[in-house]
Chain A
Amino acid sequence: MRNANCGARNGDPKSSGSVILLATGYWLLAPVQVSYAMHISEGILPLGWAALWFFVATPFVAFGLYRLKKLAAADLSFKPLVGLMAAVVFIISCMPVPVPSAGTCSHPCGTGIAGILLGPAVSVVVAAAALLIQALFLAHGGLSTLGANVVSMGVMGSFAGYLTFRALRSVKINMAIAGFMAGLFADWATYLATSVELASGIRGDSPFLPLFWKILIAFIPTQLPLGILEGAMTAGMVVLLYKKRPDLLVKMGVIKAEEVGI
């Protein structure tokens, strides 16, 4: 552990760390008795559909692993950044947030910020790892539905967040706004994909579209405010990293070197 005592000399990071740990512990612990999470649970999808989503997810995960290896070899700071994002995605995506307006709970995804900072391919790997641990040990999602959950949260969330951020930044939109919109669309894209997966898997002989709309509309009271929360979190993280380590953002291609004078 390099410089393990370095942070101890500095009061702020230590106390901030305590607050973060306290917050993490609370959010994970407190609501668990009264609510559950939202990944597609074990056994909900028929075997054929579950297999199809595994088939769709596999190339994204494989390409993500390839990118991870390549980027980690090219830049020393990439591994710690992946570690940070993996922890963030894991925590955020098993954190049930009560939505008083809907009376239900759901969770943000975290793949928007991971997609922006790591690139969408590596973000898929991070999401897949988080989802696997949750399915195995937290009764959160399922092993048979892992492929479907990777596609909705990992692939759709990461790419929606990344593409939204890049599109908005390319037309010179403020970084905070671009981050907010990226988080918002990453969250909504995840639930859009979940609606498609669910409607296609459970419909039987029923027509697809009416069931799809029914499920999507049912998600709205919860995910509309949660998307806004995820947008705010994403914007906050991007801006914080911009202030603390702009060189990292330059390295990851999030911003141009000229913007920060590096």
Chain B
Amino acid sequence: MRSLVIVLFSIVCYVSVSFAIAAEKWPGVDESVVEKYAQEHGREAHEPFINTDQGDLLLFVFLLAGTIGGFAAGYYWRVLMVEKYPSGKNKKTAAGFKDN
């Protein structure tokens, strides 16, 4: 089952990246809709307050954000689903939950 998930995931990665490379540009709807109509009405987007959209810096912050977000999601998932953190006011009443 795990292998199947990894194979399917790899196919999705390959297909989506192939699409992106083929088209060269995949504008976000912020560009294709929000900023386009804003420009038509004389409004321009400003530089962000902290501008990380410089070279590969944006790649770095997105990777960092993804890593931290992924770890947080995984950690809380384990707390809730594997360790079965109890619902209720008293953790000792929860079946299967061990407090080290």
A residues whose Cβ falls under 8 Å from a Cβ of B: 2-4, 6-7, 10, 13, 15-17, 19-46, 74-77, 80-81, 83-84, 86-88, 90-91, 94, 96, 98, 100, 103-106, 133, 135-139, 142-143, 194, 198, 201-204, 206, 211, 214-215, 218-219, 222-223, 244-245, 247-248, 250-251
Q: Which residue of A lies closest to B78 (CB)?
A: A7
Query: CA of A84 to CA of B74 in the docked complex: distance in angstroms?
Result: 8
A86 engages B20 (CB within 8 Å): no
Q: Which of B34, B78, B84 contacts A245 (CB 8 A)?
A: B84
| A19–B9 CB distance below 8 A | yes
Which of B16, B63, B73, B86: most chain A CB closer than 10 A? Answer: B73
Whether B65 and A194, one on each chain, are in contact in the complex, defined by CB atoms closer than 8 angstroms, is no
A42 x B48 contact (CB < 8 A): yes
Q: Note all chain B residues with C-beta closer than 8 A to A20.
A: 70, 73-74, 77
Q: Could you jot down 7 A-B contacts, CB within 8 Å? A: A13-B78, A25-B63, A45-B43, A83-B75, A87-B76, A103-B23, A218-B36
Question: Smallest CB–CB gap between B71 and chain A, Å?
Answer: 7
- Give min CB distance, B55 to chain A, whole Å: 11
Is B88 within 8 A of A76, CB to CB?
yes
A76 in complex: contacting residue of B35, B63, B81, B87, CB < 8 Å? B87
CA distance A20 to B78 in the complex (A): 12
Q: What 1/0 flags go to B33-50 for Cβ under 8 Å of A? A: 111111001111111111
Interface size on B, residues (CB 8 A): 72
Contact indicator B86/A6 (Cβ below 8 Å): no
Contacts A42-B47, A139-B51; is A21 near B26 (CB within 8 Å)? Answer: no
Residue contact B50 to A137, C-beta cutoff 8 Å = yes
Question: B17 to chain A: which residues have CB within 8 Å?
Answer: 30
Closest CB of chain B to A70's CB: distance in Å?
13
Residue of A29, A30, A77, A198 touching B34 (CB-CB under 8 A) = A198
Q: Which residue of A lies closest to B41 (CB)?
A: A202
